[in-house]
Amino acid sequence: MRIISGKLKGKSILFLKSQNTRPLKDSVKENIFNIISHSNLLKINIENSNVLDLYAGIGSFGLECISRGAKQITFVENNKNALELLNKNLSNLSIQSQALIVNDKIKNFLEKKQINKYQIIFLDPPFAENNFINELKIIKKKRIYQDNHIVVLHRERKSSDNFLEVINPIVIKQYQRSKIIFGKFLS
């Protein structure tokens, strides 16, 4: 795995070789960032943005955001092995100062008082996981996002999640086994 673009372009990222985790493939990640950067429908700028990376794993999405000029990334992950590699990736890339790592369950993190409001919220839950819809509801209720924001959701291509009461999908793309939903929280 590698960083695709920006100031860290071409740098390698350590990743887990496990059946319990599913790293974001470089090709899917590249497509996500092309859509964020070039879609007239999304109107979001990665540069100087605050990003929330939920189910962060080894941090592939957030690391790419930092490389592309994001101001601050909050990584939320509770898998010990993934956290170890995330810390190594941040150290190897010398970007620890732009990252906040939260070692906790996502629900616990979201229910705490939030100081930051995010422009980009990325969720990459395990494909069998459906709790993320409740987590989206908490984010919406606590309004921990900027007015100009985007939610990016990585799901299994065949999934039929009912998130329409929480977010309005703007763009939906499919790549191999992956389905990427770009949306905004409903008012």
Q: pTM, whole model, 2 decimals?
A: 0.93
Closest CA to 184 of 39, 73, 62: 39
Q: Is 151 contained in some domain?
A: yes
Residue 24 is predicted with a pLDDT of 79
Q: Is 11 contained in some domain?
A: no
Residue 126 is predicted with a pLDDT of 84
Rounded CA-CA distance 184/132 in Å is: 15
- Local confidence pLDDT in tens for the 187 residues of the chain: 899 999 999 999 998 766 555 677 888 899 999 999 988 888 899 999 999 999 999 999 999 999 999 999 999 999 999 999 999 999 999 999 999 999 999 999 999 988 889 999 999 998 777 789 999 999 999 999 999 999 999 998 888 778 888 999 999 999 888 899 999 998 7
Angle at 12 between CA 91 and CA 9, to 5 degrees: 95
Q: Is 18 contained in some domain?
A: no
Residue 127 is predicted with a pLDDT of 75
Which residues span the domain enclosing 68?
A: 26-185
Residue 8 is predicted with a pLDDT of 96
Burial degree of 73 (CB within 10 A; 0-12, 13-18, 19+): buried
Contacts of residue 15, Cβ cutoff 8 Å, sequence gap at least 6: 1, 23, 58, 60, 85
Rounded CA-CA distance 13/3 in Å is: 7
Rounded CA-CA distance 98/73 in Å is: 6
Q: Is 3 contained in some domain?
A: no
Helix axes 60-67, 26-38, angle to 10 degrees: 50
- Answer whether 50's CB lies under 8 Å from 72's CB: yes
Residue 71 is predicted with a pLDDT of 96
Q: Is 10 contained in some domain?
A: no
We report the CATH number of the domain holding residue 32 as 3.40.50.150
Structural domains counted in the chain: 1
Q: Is 19 contained in some domain?
A: no
Q: Is 112 contained in some domain?
A: yes
Q: Is 32 contained in some domain?
A: yes
Residue 167 is predicted with a pLDDT of 94
